[in-house]
Structure 1
Amino acid sequence: MNHRGEFIWYQIGYVWAAVAAVVILLIAVGRYFSRRTLRVVTTLIALTGVITLAAWGQTTHRHFTAAFVDGAGNASDFFFAPLYALVPDRRPWPDDISVAAFGLVLVVLYWLLEGWSARFEPPTVHVDDDTNAADIVKEMQFRLPAVLVHRPSVVPGGAGSDTMAAVVAESQVPGAGLYAQLVRLAGAVWPRPPGFVVKVREEKPPASACVRPGRHVTVDVRDARTQQSRMVRTLCCGKEDVAERVAGFAARTVFAADVNTPRWSVGSFDGEDLAAYLMAQQMTANPCSSAEAGRLRDRKAELLDHAVRNSPGAGVTRYELALLRDLQGNHVAALHLHAVNCVQYPRFHRVRYRLAMSLEMVAGLDLASLWTRCAPDERVHLARMLRQCGLPERGFDPILDEALCMHPLGGSHARHLRRHMLVLAQRQFRRYRRTVGFWFLLGRCLAHRDQRGDLRPMLLPIRQARVARRRQLTGAKTAEALTAVRLAVLAGQWADIRRQIDRFSPDGGSGVRGWRWSWVALYNAACLHAVVVGAAATLDAPARASTGLPTGRQLTARAVALLQAVVDDRDCEMERPYDWISVDPDLRSLAAEPAFVTFLHSQHDRDYPATRVRDEG
């Protein structure tokens, strides 16, 4: 107000604009970030507001408290000025009432904002103890928090890194004292995230002869506030997996209601795939030999395969099964699983990388024999999935149409199909490179809350975030170069192959100069050298000399040096590198090279030391 007590309307506009800007900012933070971030931002804005109001009141008071009170009074007067216009005499309220009312309005607005932001928090789960199946409930209270969906590994035989979905158990303050009562009262008044109550009841199996033997359990997942049932289902479980089946169904219901959970982690309608995923994670016996590890993978694959066949929406479980199929040497089955995942979950970007790698690996094998061994219905479904992923549609390329339905696959048709698969792989790698770019990643995380986990490496300090982003890009860059080498081998363009080898040599090629190599990039570069070794071995001596390529021994030494750098990298996700390196089709051309054989034996002894001790004994 001026010296006559009249309002200055442009200052009223400033106050309302500042309040509106703060509200819009907090709404955006509450929508796209967690409540913890919202509280941190609110605290910073509150401190900035206190300093600003104190500076506003410094014109009449030198003491900080008096200046703040005076500034807050001026701000509250300007905020309520439109209401004063409704009063005939247009006199403002006293400063203490005006400041109190202004503060109350801000508190109520923040309370509403907390309640709105709590809707986007991960829901909590409470397991009801009032049941006739106490043994199931007791074990499920242990199993349910163990349903953790990890970000899957980028290569077969790897371990997941970050947790993408988890069940949050409801926490209660124990005791009946005054503090516990006050905390419970505050929790009842203050907004909380959505919650669920899981009720379990064991049913008597019906007398019908066609009913599968086992325990029949009814699971009722209810809303914790309204006590309305969200999902009820009676599960017929075996005596050994009843707790896992119940936990998988409850976790699936919770994940479906959580906007922070990626859709590929939700699972199928009955949670059978999540239950199989949980049981496969529990198969963590320490194998003493590669043969024992293979039998363990076979049991996991059998368990996951049954769940995937009965669960059309099993995204992460299907991905894990595809990695196991690669380790078993069934690369066409892995390609089929990745293609289905890529069609069902377009934002599952890691599966796009694995789809491109599977296309590249299958194209490098004996495609005619692999295509012939596939069942006719499997070939038809795989061709349909690949068309949806980017292969030319029916009628666009008649030779490709004949190759996809031909049995057996002819030589010229196999070459044509191989070229199309490599072009599709190269296109998928380029698309993956765009998705890991910073600005695309930032926009994707702001548009989809369930994609925020991909932004975590970028929230590190500037130098570390830059290194993390470059390491991601180098992996995609070398994979794309590997596909380009495959295409160049088909076309006989040895000059392009020589240029790619020079770019991605372990001695510091131009393609990675100034970049810190990720272990994925090192592995892809080793596969690139191995592919060139296999392609050069098919040439006679004069043709080999005309290509200008390094000798096979030199290329093998480079590949082994890169693989050694992979297994020595502290960030390597492969649990036992020998398991995948020994069966990788891209490295098959090195199987007869002494340097590679020596490396494999050494790595086998490192991954399975018990075998070495037994042999030495």
Structure 2
Amino acid sequence: MDWAWRASLVTVAAVFVLAAIAWSFTRRTLRIVAVLIVGATALIFIRWDAGAGKQDLATRFTDSFRTVVGWFWKLLLGRDIEVNTAAWVAFLAIVVVGYLGLEMLAAHRESPRVDIAAADPHDSEITQNLLAELRFRLPAVALRKPGPLPGASRGETVATVVEQSEVKGGKLVAGVLRFFTMVLPSPRSYVARLYAERCADWEPETTDCDPRNPELWVTVDLRDRRTDASAGVTTFDRVRLSDAAEHAAAYLASVLLRDDKSTPEWSKPAAERADDLAAFLLCPPSLGYGHSFQKVLANHDTSRDLLEPVARDGPASGIVRYELASLYDLQSRPLEALRLHARTRADFPKFLSARYRLGISLTMAAGDSFEADWQSARRDQQSRRARPTQVADIADYLRRAGLLDRKGHQQFLNDPDTTRFRLQLLDVARRELEAYQRSVGWARWTARKCFSRAERSSSTGLLAQGRSVRTARTIVKSALFLCATRRAYLEQRPGPAPDLDLARQHARDVVDETSPRRRHRSLPWQATYNYACALTLGLAPDADRPALQEADVDLVISLLQQVSEDPANPRAVEWIGRDPDLAALQRNARFIDFVRERIRRDFDITDTDPFPVTDWLSQQVWAVQHPGGAPASMTIAKVRVVTVTPLSG
């Protein structure tokens, strides 16, 4: 093979590489790779025939480049031609046009950008205020503006700054920048317009009970910046002023991100006019330290009331349904949370966080605390006395997700043996956690970085993302250990307790500062918590099972202490006190003291307003706020508990 054919193969390979980069990555990555290829080519030209006596660098470079141009036209035309000025110009024109085509491909596949139209002087005050607020709502749905100036691209912004500066030749530089901004392709860009009118202004008979937060008719119009063609328009009827900006931002997201390959499917709005995403944006922010327990409960209730109508039963975005499931977990409704996680897994199999939560929820649902709940729910399902129950929904979603076959689906619904049913839950949990473990492996992580359009824009911070991969693998390893420990616990009933030595060793490595492995420095709090739950499985002995050693209780509390002190985990006591896996400790004096101490740290206990005491945690909060007293009415779920007598002395 002569050098012409070798150069041709290299050229074709470079073109395919650049095309793949343009298809899967951003224009920035395309430009970096193109510069590297050009630099490597120039280096080859410089080194070409270095020992042939040609000492002049420019001459050597020109001759090598003329040879390449001659090869190009020979392959294209099938014959040799004289490499004159016309051949050079035609060759460079083809290269430039081809590269611009790659830029157009990369720009077309990038996320669209949206800007808010400037307020018209004739617009009402409400319209002007909503336009200003909408600018702050767009980043919440990952919609980027083209530039700092309204209606301007980044190149136009830089050109304006240069032109207004006092630098000599600034106008010339600004003109060049504007020219390249016009020539170079750019992502799809849109302009959003918004019009708002008071309903009471057009309906005098309407009585608006809140003049500071009136009902509005809000029209949102999205138009292409270049063609001024309408991409979408809708009118929200009777929406409150306080909610209008969130509804407008959610609608813009639903239109712009519908066909965007860089946005994961599970984060796109699914409901009509993006009602699900609007409800998610309207949810109050999570409260941190220092707020009263009553305010935290009200915060959860407000978020749940907003999300339930749009995410519980109908189509919804994966992140919205995931948020509602997390609220159900915090409100001691784990089976409803499991149902939502199963549906999210069926609808969005690439939503990795939901897959992990499904595995953990299935592992927890196989615990002793849920045995009576499963028996009651499955009796209702078998008797067909009600509409499809949670059990039927969970089974259907797991089958849709490919986690249950037809035989497993029937066994899930009809198997009278509760222990065998719980083992089936653990089998499904293990398979899901193992699939998640494979998904966060280095090979698949690298493949997602290279080929997934949803992750290609986050090419910065790769070291931090690599650490997150290691963290995820550590967490899922601890979750699989918890699942295996619970399975061993079930399979050996009645009989001796499963061997918890490995759990004890993990716990000591986390707690003991002198441990030679010193794993406590890198173990994430989620893994620490999973090991604490695994060690707690032996805290509820049957008649034939020996009681747990008291030292294990100290280890569990030490692990929970580290979990609650992690700065990334505020108000950990809120779910530590509600977790069914820790129910066996709820009559232990040291655990009660630990929980109450955390309540004093995490909540404002000076607020003594009444609140419903419906679970063990709220009972402890009441006890902290009213020392020596007891709530007038209390409904506490029955749990399996054990009392550990302290060591004498």
Partners of 2:22 and 2:518 in 1: CA distance: 39
Deviation at 1:444, TM superposition (A): 4.0
Change (3 A) 1:240 1:370: farther
5 Å matches for 1:410-421? 413-421=417-425
Matched residue, 2:112: 123
Partners of 1:311 and 1:55 in 2: CA distance: 66
Matched residue, 1:584: 579
Partners of 1:195 and 1:66 in 2: CA distance: 46
Aligned to 1:288, which of 271, 287, 291? Answer: 291
Partners of 1:137 and 1:256 in 2: CA distance: 28
Matched residue, 1:338: 341
Secondary structure, counterpart of 1:592 in structure 2 = coil
The runs of at least 4 aligned residues of structure 1 exceeding 6 Å deviation read 206-213, 453-457, 512-515, 612-616
Please tell me whether residue 170 in structure 1 is matched to residue 160 in structure 2.
no
Encode CA deviations 1:204-236: one digit per residue, 9 max, x unaligned: 868799999932222222333333323222222
Secondary structure, counterpart of 2:62 in structure 1 = helix
5 Å matches for 1:525-536? 525-534=531-540, 536=541
Partners of 1:189 and 1:563 in 2: CA distance: 60
Partners of 2:89 and 2:347 in 1: CA distance: 55
Partners of 1:610 and 1:204 in 2: CA distance: 43
Deviation at 1:99, TM superposition (A): 4.1
Partners of 2:178 and 2:305 in 1: CA distance: 47
Partners of 1:418 and 1:562 in 2: CA distance: 27
5 Å matches for 1:250-329? 250-268=252-270, 269-280=272-283, 282=285, 288-309=291-312, 312-329=315-332
Matched residue, 1:491: 491
Matched residues, percent identical?
28
Matched residue, 1:153: none
Encode CA deviations 1:568-604: one digit per residue, 9 max, x unaligned: 446x3x2321222121221121222233223323333
- Contact 1:133–1:200 (8 Å) recurs in 2: no
Partners of 1:224 and 1:196 in 2: CA distance: 5
Partners of 1:64 and 1:585 in 2: CA distance: 76
Q: Which residues of structure 2 form unaligned runs of 5+?
A: 165-170, 209-213, 381-385, 609-623, 627-649
5 Å matches for 1:12-23? 12-23=4-15
Secondary structure, counterpart of 2:509 in structure 1 = coil
Partners of 1:597 and 1:287 in 2: CA distance: 21
Partners of 2:276 and 2:440 in 1: CA distance: 28
Matched residue, 1:409: none
Partners of 2:504 and 2:578 in 1: CA distance: 26
- Contact 1:252–1:271 (8 Å) recurs in 2: yes
Secondary structure, counterpart of 2:339 in structure 1 = helix
Secondary structure, counterpart of 2:48 in structure 1 = helix
Partners of 1:180 and 1:64 in 2: CA distance: 35
Letter in 1 for 2:332: G
**Number of paired residues?**
564
Matched residue, 2:191: 197
Matched residue, 2:400: 388
Letter in 1 for 2:111: P
Aligned to 1:608, which of 595, 603, 606? Answer: 603
Letter in 1 for 2:573: Y
Aligned to 2:130, which of 134, 139, 143? Answer: 139
Change (3 A) 1:191 1:566: same
Aligned to 1:93, which of 83, 104, 111? Answer: 83
Matched residue, 1:426: 430
Partners of 2:125 and 2:260 in 1: CA distance: 28
Worse overlay, 286-295 or 140-149:
140-149
Aligned to 1:72, which of 41, 44, 65? Answer: 65
Change (3 A) 1:361 1:615: closer
- Contact 1:355–1:425 (8 Å) recurs in 2: yes
TM-score (norm 2): 0.78
Please tell me whether residue 109 in structure 1 is matched to residue 98 in structure 2.
yes
Please tell me whether residue 557 in structure 1 is matched to residue 551 in structure 2.
no
Letter in 2 for 1:222: R
Change (3 A) 1:283 1:356: closer
Partners of 2:355 and 2:440 in 1: CA distance: 12
Matched residue, 2:528: 522
TM-score (norm 1): 0.81
Deviation at 1:530, TM superposition (A): 1.4
Matched residue, 2:23: 31
Q: CA RMSD in A?
A: 3.5
Deviation at 1:433, TM superposition (A): 1.0
Matched residue, 2:356: 353
Encode CA deviations 1:219-260: one digit per residue, 9 max, x unaligned: 222333333323222222223201111111112212223211
Matched residue, 2:589: 594
5 Å matches for 1:199-218? 199-202=193-196, 214-218=215-219
Change (3 A) 1:10 1:241: same
Letter in 1 for 2:599: H
Secondary structure, counterpart of 1:241 in structure 2 = helix
Letter in 2 for 1:378: T
Partners of 2:301 and 2:32 in 1: CA distance: 49
Matched residue, 1:246: 248
- Contact 2:362–2:429 (8 Å) recurs in 1: yes
Letter in 2 for 1:169: K
Letter in 2 for 1:529: L
Partners of 1:144 and 1:169 in 2: CA distance: 9
- Contact 1:140–1:244 (8 Å) recurs in 2: no
Letter in 2 for 1:528: A
Letter in 1 for 2:463: L
Encode CA deviations 1:246-280: one digit per residue, 9 max, x unaligned: 11111221222321111111112311111121122
Please tell me whether residue 477 in structure 1 is matched to residue 477 in structure 2.
yes
Deviation at 1:563, TM superposition (A): 2.0
Change (3 A) 1:335 1:147: farther
Partners of 1:397 and 1:384 in 2: CA distance: 8
Partners of 1:101 and 1:93 in 2: CA distance: 11
Partners of 1:434 and 1:454 in 2: CA distance: 21
Q: Which residues of structure 1 form unaligned runs of 5+?
A: 1-8, 150-164, 404-411
Encode CA deviations 1:151-192: one digit per residue, 9 max, x unaligned: xxxxxxxxxxxxxx6110121225775355543332221100
Change (3 A) 1:64 1:593: farther
Matched residue, 2:634: none
